[in-house]
Structure 1
Amino acid sequence: MRTPPEARNETGGGDLTGYRIGDAYELIEPIGGGGTGTVWRARSLVQDEHVAVKLLREDLMAEPKAVNRFVQERAILLMLRHPHIVRVRDLVTVGTSLGLVMDLVEGGSLRDYLHEQGTLPPAEAAMLLAQVAEALAAAHKRGVVHRDLKPDNILLDRVDGRLHCRLTDFGIARILDTPSMTTPGALVGTANYVAPEAVYGGRPAPPADIYALGVVLFELTAGHPTYAGGPAWAILRRHVDESPRPVDGMPDAIWQVVQQCMDKRPGRRPSARDLAATLRTVARRVRDLPALPPHTVDNRPTTPGPPVPRPRPAPTRSRRAFCAAVLLALAALAVPAWNFLNRPGGEVGEARPGAHSTAAPAGGGSPSAVRPTARAVRSAGAATVGDASPAGPSGRAATEATEAWQDWECGDSYTWDLGHPAVVQPCHAVGTGRVRLVGHMKALPGIQADVTISLVDADTDELVAGPHLCAGLMFTDFAPSHDCGPFVDNPPRGHRYVVVQKWVYSGRSILPGGEVRGKEFAW
């Protein structure tokens, strides 16, 4: 036996191999890990058998929600007793951290198995997921929603020589009708498996688990999830806007189950109990069919490897007619159909539908009330912008008519991961006497954000002008992107500056927000 010094009794530092947890368990070796901690193989000193101990990351111990969620996992799993759910045995303290003692499942995860095989025979995929559906049925009966169903959280072992699924990691599960441990409206889960209603921060419910299981069934059969490829925000958008397509050779019986599970309307998805029965019936119908060759996202057979993006499906006749009607309406209203994010080197001085700006005196100052940006009047080297200059309307117009502006320069910092489902880009343009600032933002429908644009000294990071506020920007199917600005400022000469664009999600808050910096420039 080896007991580490007290300084190393933290899960975040030192080697805990051989460390004894009281008189009950001895850590042997780490065997896995995730966002909340590390999983160790351990030996039960009482029963002389191996178990798994999941240690909470040391830095998370200072986060009350993380600790509560970790303790909640024990409470949930102690409630659940099912052959296809990993059994929790104990909650222990390890140094200054917490440990969750569980049954040790030796066969690895379904993700590991799929990586080895490329794809599974349809009958095997259906039978394995029938076991998972039975586990979900037991959880849903007790009011528990898993919320993060994916191959990584499905463990495998063998019983009587046959593969046996064990569902694990209920750490972010929610007990229905109980206050959530997560921020209200928070988006929890993994992008490839998130149900459309969850993208908008909807209340977790059993149909969300069924949706994820449909994605997993597709993945086991085709070799990739339904909407694999691209950034997380784009995958989330496709869950909302698109419908999955079968790969070549996918059995109709499998495809019908995928369609039922991934119905956009949660109420039309099957229950976990009915799904388990359906999958067992499907397994018998397709038992003689071989595994498909692994496919990329565009349905071309290939060897196992990273997926590539597939093109969006061609619009249906009704969708084309709908889009044509919208375009005609926009044209009648003389609204410019222009999207900066889809035009390299686009001119950003022109206001777009829904763009906001906060007028401020040159050189900064408090922003005034939010109002639509004035349309840019573009001519040879001149433009009109909506700022409130001390010179007054007539003086400002005369100044703008004679002021020459250089081309817009935009930062290349885009933020599009799951934590910030948005594409953001701040820009600046230098004139003969002043500087213009603007910020672009594109986000998922249903998101509302408050955006600020500031000018800071690139060397000292001190605020020079702003922050200019664009409050309550609402992103919808018809207005997926907005500009904040342009604004005109007159910073001191002889310095280097950078435009900083910040945003916080407002209304039904989904995520905390973020910050992006533009290109540095001399003035």
Structure 2
Amino acid sequence: MADTAPANAQVPQQQAAQIQPCKYKTGKTLGAGSYSVVKECVHIDTGRYYAAKVINKRLMAGREHMVRNEIAVLKKVSMGHRNILTLVDYFETMNNLYLVTDLALGGELFDRICRKGSYYETDAADLVRATLSAVAYLHDHGIVHRDLKPENLLFRTPEDNADLLIADFGLSRIMDEEQFHVLTTTCGTPGYMAPEIFKKTGHGKPVDIWAIGVITYFLLCGYTPFDRDSNLEEMQAILVADYSFTPLEYWRGVSNSAREFIKRCLTIIPSERMTSHEALSHPWIADTPVKEGEDLLPTVKKNFNARRTLHAAIDTIRAINQLRAGGGAAMIHDGASARDPAKIVENSRPVDEDVMELDSRGNGRGQTEEMIREQERRIRETQAGLWGQRR
């Protein structure tokens, strides 16, 4: 990659790369993406620990603009807001690009919630307020994040009062305020994407507010508002804002103010959506009542875990269907274990959806324990029968 520079320099697109030896020692893996891995690292000279996003140059061939963009965004906002992950260093070696950031030791947002002893609506409002504050800062600096989701919200430390951090700016864009700032690239995570992204009519700052609405809904019940059987159906629901506060048993303890906040975020027409500063002034965010009302943790935790179990089950069933349809040979030839359906390769034969059916993602909302156990039983029986037939 030629268009790179160290952290204390500008990033002109025609500047040749400055190659230098790695001054960090990497440790355990913290996460992984399609073209990068995030590792814990220590600065060899100072002994300080950080997180390093290690990007493989070979895997990034043709997508270098994503890295340049992430660097430019992080450099512009680093150290400017307590709820934004700080870029500490940037450099490249012969084989990799390195983005070194603060080490967020507190874990992901929803994992943290599930470990709590209790969780109230006011706790959700606090989390949304912190996120909105950072988003308002980004918007004030002409930056759209475009990929806000719980997985990109991390805590700085394990302490209860730790700062919530917005991370991963790989899909952000610095917007030139003097130009007509609309973005037409389809990007992001489908369930959190705004209608205008799918329409490809141009989009800007309002897409982050839409994502805030989806996150808020998720924080209050444990599932997302547009979860459907497929990405296509999910997109169709998003385009017409087809969602509701159901089942009622999971929303009975949520205030009307919270619901109204979500509605103001999940507005189809971008210009009618709240701005980040208007959202910060909304009564649900601006007013900070004492913790009272219903403990949402049992519902949120149950629905989140049921959703995670169902999605994992669907992945397993799809893999088993592929094996039954003849994909097993492809797996073996690609070096994957035929006894591990999770390792099925992407270029195997199409799934025969009629081989075995499973409750759809849309029915994953608020599953009962009996439903989950029945699905797991069916998977175990199918796996046992499949592996028995192949011996």
Asked if the contact 2:132/2:279 (under 8 Å) is kept, the reply is: yes
State the match for 1:112 in structure 2: 111
Whichever residue aligns with residue 266 of structure 2, its letter is M
Answer yes or no: is 1:287 the counterpart of 2:291.
Answer: yes
State the match for 1:241 in structure 2: 240
CA distance in 1, matches of 2:262, 2:163: 22
CA RMSD across the alignment: 3.0
Answer yes or no: is 1:70 the counterpart of 2:74.
Answer: no
Q: Deviations over 1:251-272 (max 9, x none)?
A: 1111111000111111122211
The alpha carbon displacement at 1:58 in A equals 4.2
Asked if the contact 1:110/1:154 (under 8 Å) is kept, the reply is: yes
Answer yes or no: is 1:275 the counterpart of 2:265.
Answer: no
- Secondary structure at the aligned position of 2:30 is classed as strand
Asked if the contact 2:221/2:303 (under 8 Å) is kept, the reply is: no
State the match for 1:163 in structure 2: 162
More strand by share: 1
Cα 1:221–1:283 change in 2 (3 A) is farther
- Secondary structure at the aligned position of 1:52 is classed as strand
Q: Deviations over 1:386-425 (max 9, x none)?
A: xxxxxxxxxxxxxxxxxxxxxxxxx9779xxxxxxxxxxx
Asked if the contact 2:86/2:102 (under 8 Å) is kept, the reply is: yes
The alpha carbon displacement at 1:163 in A equals 3.5
Asked if the contact 1:119/1:294 (under 8 Å) is kept, the reply is: no
State the match for 1:51 in structure 2: 50
Q: How does 1:163-242 map to 2 (within 5 A)?
A: 163-177=162-176, 185-242=184-241
CA distance in 1, matches of 2:135, 2:152: 13
Gaps (5+ residues) in structure 1?
A: 1-20, 310-410, 415-523
The alpha carbon displacement at 1:68 in A equals 1.8
The alpha carbon displacement at 1:176 in A equals 1.7
Asked if the contact 1:61/1:97 (under 8 Å) is kept, the reply is: no
CA distance in 1, matches of 2:159, 2:114: 24
Cα 1:98–1:118 change in 2 (3 A) is farther
Asked if the contact 2:279/2:285 (under 8 Å) is kept, the reply is: no
The alpha carbon displacement at 1:199 in A equals 1.0
Cα 1:179–1:278 change in 2 (3 A) is closer
Cα 1:302–1:75 change in 2 (3 A) is closer
The alpha carbon displacement at 1:203 in A equals 2.1
Whichever residue aligns with residue 73 of structure 2, its letter is I
Whichever residue aligns with residue 46 of structure 1, its letter is D
Answer yes or no: is 1:259 the counterpart of 2:263.
Answer: yes
Q: Deviations over 1:32-89 (max 9, x none)?
A: 11233100100012332101110113443322xx212112211111110211100002
The alpha carbon displacement at 1:135 in A equals 0.6
CA distance in 1, matches of 2:303, 2:167: 31
Cα 1:223–1:41 change in 2 (3 A) is same
Asked if the contact 2:56/2:96 (under 8 Å) is kept, the reply is: yes
CA distance in 1, matches of 2:196, 2:149: 17
Whichever residue aligns with residue 77 of structure 1, its letter is L
The alpha carbon displacement at 1:146 in A equals 0.3
Higher deviation after alignment, 144-153 or 66-75: 66-75
State the match for 1:304 in structure 2: 305
CA distance in 2, matches of 1:161, 1:116: 11
Asked if the contact 1:130/1:279 (under 8 Å) is kept, the reply is: no
- Secondary structure at the aligned position of 1:135 is classed as helix
Whichever residue aligns with residue 69 of structure 1, its letter is M
CA distance in 2, matches of 1:74, 1:303: 33
Whichever residue aligns with residue 64 of structure 2, its letter is V
Q: How does 1:338-349 map to 2 (within 5 A)?
A: none
Whichever residue aligns with residue 277 of structure 2, its letter is R
State the match for 1:430 in structure 2: none
CA distance in 2, matches of 1:166, 1:154: 6
Asked if the contact 2:257/2:284 (under 8 Å) is kept, the reply is: no
- Secondary structure at the aligned position of 2:218 is classed as helix
Whichever residue aligns with residue 237 of structure 2, its letter is R
TM-score (norm: length of structure 2):
0.66
Gaps (5+ residues) in structure 2?
A: 1-19, 312-349, 354-391
TM-score (norm: length of structure 1):
0.50
Q: Which has the higher contact order (CA 8 A, sep 6+)?
A: 2
Q: How does 1:90-109 map to 2 (within 5 A)?
A: 90-109=89-108
CA distance in 2, matches of 1:412, 1:26: 43
Whichever residue aligns with residue 299 of structure 2, its letter is P
Whichever residue aligns with residue 102 of structure 2, its letter is D
State the match for 1:510 in structure 2: none
Whichever residue aligns with residue 269 of structure 2, its letter is R
CA distance in 2, matches of 1:123, 1:158: 21
CA distance in 1, matches of 2:174, 2:60: 22
Asked if the contact 2:152/2:167 (under 8 Å) is kept, the reply is: yes
Q: Deviations over 1:455-476 (max 9, x none)?
A: xxxxxxxxxxxxxxxxxxxxxx
- Secondary structure at the aligned position of 2:288 is classed as helix
Asked if the contact 1:126/1:282 (under 8 Å) is kept, the reply is: no
The alpha carbon displacement at 1:175 in A equals 1.7
